[in-house]
Structure 1
Amino acid sequence: MKSLKILLPKSQPTNPNPQPSMLRDRRLLLLLAAGSLTTMAGGVVAPVLPEVVQQLQLNPVLAGNLVSMHCLTIALFSPFLGILADRFSRLKVLVPSLILYAIFGVAGALMSNFWPLLATRALLGAASGGIAAASLGLLGSLYEEPERSQAIGYATSTLTLTGILFPLLGGWVGASHWQFAFYLYAVGLPLALLALFFLPEKQQQPGKGLALDGKQLSALLKRSQTLRLLLTLSLASGIMYAFLIYVPQYLKQTLAAGTVVNGIVLASTAIGAALISALGSSRISQKWGLDRAIALGFGLMAAMLVAIAQLDTLSAIVPAAVFFGVGFGLALPSLYAALANLAPSTMRSSLLAAGTGAGFLGQFLSPVFLGPVLGAGGITAVFYAAAIVAMVAGLLLVAPSR
């Protein structure tokens, strides 16, 4: 018996001064903007969720699914739409997905009952899955190494930045009325028009050796280390989404907070995650190892969840939210790095895509499992339950295994 040890990847040379021509490439900027819409899907709605529940008189136990429903359909539709994008045309998947994203997103503002609103959220997620699959495929086809790695780095930074921006934007726009936050999804229409004119793609060549790769990928996915990392990644995303869903409700109960305060607290979490990802996670992983870095991140998340359940002032909750984000920002990138280390380069994208699907599945299941906890024990019981899950997830990475 031995503990799960995860090796750090070999350091790669980086260019501290990216090519100016790449930074001015409008195709890159357009793909970054389109890809960020997957973050927007839940980010602009979470701060106004308490107002949606109150004004539409929704069941609070079920209402959390409105923020997470798109995660399930992203997980379900991304692989299928990715196959269509590779087989036919990435642009022919991206443009309709952007249009449908705008239509289904704005349609949520017109719904007055839970189930029709939930249906629009599910369809929004399906469109988001097409955007994610096609934009990443186009990003990879536009550049060769090392520019391709640099472009992916820009994409990661953009998602972190929009994770801070969209909760603030949703809280600010939704302060007048919750429906206004849903109108932000209309940005998909001009992006679709710009993509149609500015993203001509190269001819796609059919892949070779797909049957062999499929067998190898299947064997890789069945490995105990892979399954453990996928499960842990799913739990990490589920815990983060529990924070995103239930902290605004806690703030409303405890502080009578509005949408702007909700957006500030959620953005504080994203700031903590961005800071540790940029400044500290790599150093901690190199010094302690990925497995211990992940466990540390989960431990910090658990501690902050317990702390927030005891706090009743905004001046104390905001620092706790920042440190919760630090824990998440330490755990999640380390999990993806560990997952990438298990696969050869020819299967790395496929395995990371499986990790993305596991993460979105965890986000969807979060309110499904924690909703009954809310009904039985109240909002503080949700925080304690999520803290227990965080501790268990951290132990998965240091527990003995064959």
Structure 2
Amino acid sequence: MRKWWPLVAVCLGSFMLIVDTTVVTVALPDMARSLGAPLSDMQWVLNIYTLALGIVTLSAGSLGDLFGKRRIFVVSLIVFALASLACGLAGNTAVLIAARGVQGVGGAAMIGTTLALLGGCYEGKDRGTAIGYWSAVLGMAAAAGPILGGVLTQYLSWRAIFFINLPISVVTLLLAVLFVPESPRAERARVDVAGIVTFAVFAGALTYGLIRAGEHGWAQGATLLCFGIAAAGLVLFAVLEQAQQAPMLDIRLFGNASFCTVMLGVMASSVAFACLVYTSIWLQGVLRLSPLGAGVALIPMAVTSFLASSLIGKRLHTVSPRVTIGLGLLLNTVGCGLEYLMLHSSANAWTLAPGLVAIGLGIGIGGPGTNGAVLASVPTERSGMASGAMATFRQFGQALGVAALGVVFLSAMSHRLAGGTADPRTAAASVASGAAPDLPSVHDAGAYALGLVFLATAALSALACLCTVLWVRGAEAPAHAPESARATGQPAQT
């Protein structure tokens, strides 16, 4: 039993982090009323967290390689806990947003090292089992956030969604200190400051640009400026990393079609999660469900994802990632396609259940294979880099998905409502705030718009699935594989 305590520590930290990306959503109206702030300002309680995750995640994985992954995990856990306390005690909006940003920094450092910690603690069948359960916890946490947020906000206070992190952090900290061994460190003389700074510029500008695109449109001047800065930062980052003898991110990995395809699969799966944002908006803004009711409607995906990862995914560690990742993406495609076909003007919350079950199966089966393939792409002492890269692509996929799908959702609603009894722009925008008029035309437009959101996601998942079948090869490299083969991302042949 002792050997599984590191898994428990990593799962507790990951659960807390992922829940905090969604738990705030249902509490924003209560926060705004309590602090006397407009709801538009409170959106930054969500946005600043996303921004911090996008900037810090990859750097944290690299620092874990240099200073020790357990040390970075423990420090980040302490930062996360203290920031959660500050969020719960915040007396005004500025303090809450600032504390939430610090919480995002701590969360990014945690998620940037968790997969690498599992890779260092377990090998072979045990690694497959550990990654399976960890992936199951991630899927369950993403869907459980709205449920937990609804319960705590409705029966206690919005401050409880932050205070609950404190006891979990204490338990996780004790388990990490007592049972998680320190990892070997990469032989590198100094921190890659240039890489960290240029990547932060790229990630920060891109994430902020995506946030602005969702709020103000893709063609707005400040949005385009952010994307321009992001492009320049990315080019400079790539140039500097190629000149480094021991770079924060080995650019050569992206010359490997298998590695790039796995990253595409990570982003596609993240966009599927982004669909939940607009599913929740539809459930609350069109169907008029309570936050708790909307969370309950997502239970089929949460339960299926957990069961699939823990009962199926963990047993597939010897199967080629081409099969597991491809099957997961195929199930995501089927699930999103089912949602598109079944959403109509008379649809209700349970209409979504079959599609959510298929998406949950896809996440549960594909997740462990993706994680194993990423770990196999680099030597053990650089697993923090791979872990951080995967977490960064996951975060960008979610941010891009929320922004792009938001344009699809609102544009489709406005188009569907044109010529109807409700003003298209007003009704479409009011759905997100829960103030949409209760009219048949709004129900029809909401279902139509959400259906297109799922259709777009299905198309991306199908593309990622095809690329996986064509370019992902081999099974996870064994623990004793030569470092040269692992470092270049060449998996073992099947």
Give the TM-score category using the shorter length: 0.7 to 0.9
> Letter of the aligned partner of 2:452 in structure 1?
Y
Give the Cα–Cα distance (whole angstroms) in 1 for the partners of residues 136 and 70 of structure 2: 23
Q: Does 1:306 align with 2:340?
A: yes
Higher RCO (CA 8 Å, separation ≥ 6 residues): 1
Q: Residue 392 of structure 1 aligns to which amino acid in structure 2?
A: L
- 1:219 is the counterpart of 2:199: no
Give 1:370's match in structure 2, choosing from 393, 405, 414. 405
Q: Give SS of 2:298's match.
A: helix
Distance in 2, matches of 1:384 and 1:153, equals 31
Number of aligned residues: 375
The correspondence for 1:58, drawn from 31, 34, 39, is 39
Once the two structures are TM-superposed, the CA of residue 344 in structure 1 deviates from its matched residue by 6.2
Q: Deviations over 1:333-363 (max 9, x none)?
A: 455566567x366677644542221111111
Q: What is the correspondence of 1:112-261 to structure 2 with a 5 Å cutoff?
A: 113=93, 117-136=96-115, 138-141=117-120, 150-163=129-142, 165-176=144-155, 177-187=157-167, 189-191=169-171, 194=174, 198=178, 201-202=181-182, 204-207=184-187, 217-243=250-276, 245-261=277-293
CA contact (8 A) 1:34 1:191 kept: no
Q: Flag the 1:227–1:299 CA change in 2: closer, same or farther, 3 A.
A: same
2:462 matches 1:394 = yes
Structure 1 residue 252, shift from structure 2 partner: 1.4
Determine the C-alpha separation between the residues in 2 that align with 1:54 and 1:249.
20
- Relative to structure 1, the CA distance from residue 200 to residue 82 in structure 2 (aligned partners, 3 Å threshold; closer, same or farther) is same
Matched, 1:359 2:338: no
Contact 1:164 1:268 in 2 (8 A): no
Q: What is residue 35 of structure 1 aligned with on the other side? A: 14
The residue type paired with residue 198 of structure 1 is L
1:74 to 2:63 alignment: no
CA–CA distance in 2 between the matches of 1:288 and 1:208?
Answer: 33
Look up the match of 1:272: 304
Q: Which runs of 5+ in 1 are unaligned?
A: 1-19
**Identity in percent:** 19
More moved, 48-57 vs 268-277: 48-57
Change (3 A) 1:50 1:21: same
Report if aligned partners of 1:45, 1:67 keep a CA contact under 8 Å in 2: yes
Give the secondary-structure state (helix, strand or coil) at the position aligned to 2:289: coil
Residues 236 and 390, structure 1, Cα contact 8 Å, conserved in 2: no
Q: Quick one: which amino acid aligns to residue 388 of structure 1? A: A
Question: For the pair shown, which has the larger CA radius of gyration, 1 or 2?
Answer: 2
Instruction: For 1:183 and 1:338, locate their aligned partners in 2 and report how far apart those are by CA, in whole Å.
Output: 36
Cα deviation, residue 128, structure 1: 0.8
How far, CA to CA, are the matches of 2:320 and 2:75 in structure 1?
A: 43
Alpha-carbon distance between aligned partners in 2 of 1:34 and 1:100, rounded to the nearest angstrom: 12
TM-score between the two structures when normalised by the length of structure 2: 0.61
Contact kept in structure 2, 1:68 and 1:364, CA below 8 Å = no
CA contact (8 A) 1:82 1:134 kept: yes
Give 1:10's aligned residue. none
1:48/1:322 CA distance change after superposition, 3 Å: farther
Query: 1:261 corresponds to which letter in structure 2?
Result: G
Report if aligned partners of 2:77, 2:173 keep a CA contact under 8 Å in 1. no
Q: 1:145 to 1:46 in 2, by over 3 A?
A: same
1:99 and 1:188 in contact (8 A); partners too: no
Conserved 8 A contact 2:267-2:394: yes
Q: Which moved more, 1:360-369 or 1:135-144?
A: 135-144
Instruction: Indicate whether 1:317 and 2:342 are aligned.
Output: no
CA contact 1:242–1:386 (8 Å) conserved in 2: yes
1:14 corresponding residue in structure 2: none
Q: Deviations 1:99-129 (Å, cap 9, x if unpaired)? A: 321233344453655x765544433221012
1:293 aligns with 2:327: yes
Query: 1:27-71 CA distances to partner (integer Å, 9 max, x unpaired)?
Result: 5533432333222222422444565578854249x94x7546534
In the superposition, the TM-score normalised over structure 1's length comes to: 0.73
- 1:237 maps to amino acid: S
1:99 corresponds to which residue? 78
Deviates more, 1:254-263 or 1:310-319: 310-319
Once the 2 structures are TM-superposed, how far is the Cα of residue 237 of structure 1 from its aligned partner? 0.1
Deviation of 1:386 after TM superposition, in Å, equals 4.2
* 1:224 CA displacement: 4.1
Residue 55 of structure 2 corresponds to residue 22 of structure 1: no
The 3-state SS of whatever aligns with 1:175 is helix
Contact conserved, 1:95 with 1:195, CA < 8 A, in 2?
no
- Inter-CA distance 372–143: structure 2 relative to 1 (3 Å threshold): closer
**What is the CA RMSD across the aligned residues, in angstroms?**
4.2
From the superposition, tell whether residues 301 and 97 of structure 1 become closer, same or farther in structure 2 (CA, over 3 Å): same
Question: Residues 289 and 320 of structure 1: is their aligned pair in 2 closer, same or farther, counting only changes over 3 Å?
Answer: closer
Q: Quick one: distance in 2 between partners of 1:35 and 1:92?
A: 16
